[in-house]
């Protein structure tokens, strides 16, 4: 992990050619959330910390990175861009095909594994989308910053 510094607004993690990318991405994101005051460094919960918002971000990062592993020929990079108003997360991969939501499989389908990543993204993110290009795509989502989070420099 090579964050650009605890006060930087944008953190980038290169994932191409690495292993255990979902765990690596979660650890990297957790470090950024600590630097940006979304999470405390220890077990304490000081005023202003919103663990639920941070856990939602970690879940969403896991889903988007896992989808890049399963459907995008592996993730290339994870970018976290935080402003006082929102956190934008982007994952790039080498498959230009846009994400496709699996159609409803009927009653009881929610108990079946797989196919729920975009549903989770739609429910927890303020917005999301994808941008395709000649060399792959970028899937992004945004969440609102919790009150009391530090504003990164930049």
pTM for this structure?
A: 0.85
Question: What pLDDT is stored for residue 5 in this prediction?
Answer: 43
CATH of the structural domain 10-101+116-144, one choice from 3.40.50.11720, 3.30.565.10, 3.40.50.300, 3.40.1180.10: 3.30.565.10
Question: What pLDDT is stored for residue 14 in this prediction?
Answer: 97
At 75-99, the pLDDT tens digits run: 999 999 999 999 999 999 999 999 9
At 33-44, the pLDDT tens digits run: 999 988 887 766
Q: What are the b/e assignments for 72-109, b being 16+ CB within 10 Å?
A: bebbbbbebbbeeeebbbbbbbeeeeebeeeeeeeeee
């Amino acid at each position: 992990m090579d964050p650009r510094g605890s006060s930087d607004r944008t953190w980038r993690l290169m994932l191409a050619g690495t292993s255990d990318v979902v765990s690596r991405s979660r650890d990297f994101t957790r470090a950024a959330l600590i630097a940006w005051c979304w999470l405390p460094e220890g077990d304490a919960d000081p005023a202003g910390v919103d663990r639920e918002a941070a856990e939602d971000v970690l879940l969403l990062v896991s889903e988007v990175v896992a989808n890049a592993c399963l459907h995008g020929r592996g993730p290339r990079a994870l970018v976290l861009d935080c402003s006082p108003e929102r956190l934008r997360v982007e994952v790039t991969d080498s498959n230009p095909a846009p994400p496709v939501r699996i159609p409803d499989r009927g009653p009881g389908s929610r108990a079946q594994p797989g196919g729920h990543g975009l549903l989770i993204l739609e429910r927890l993110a303020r917005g999301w989308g994808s941008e395709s290009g000649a060399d792959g795509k970028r899937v992004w989502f945004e969440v609102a910053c919790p009150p009391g989070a530090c504003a990164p420099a930049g």
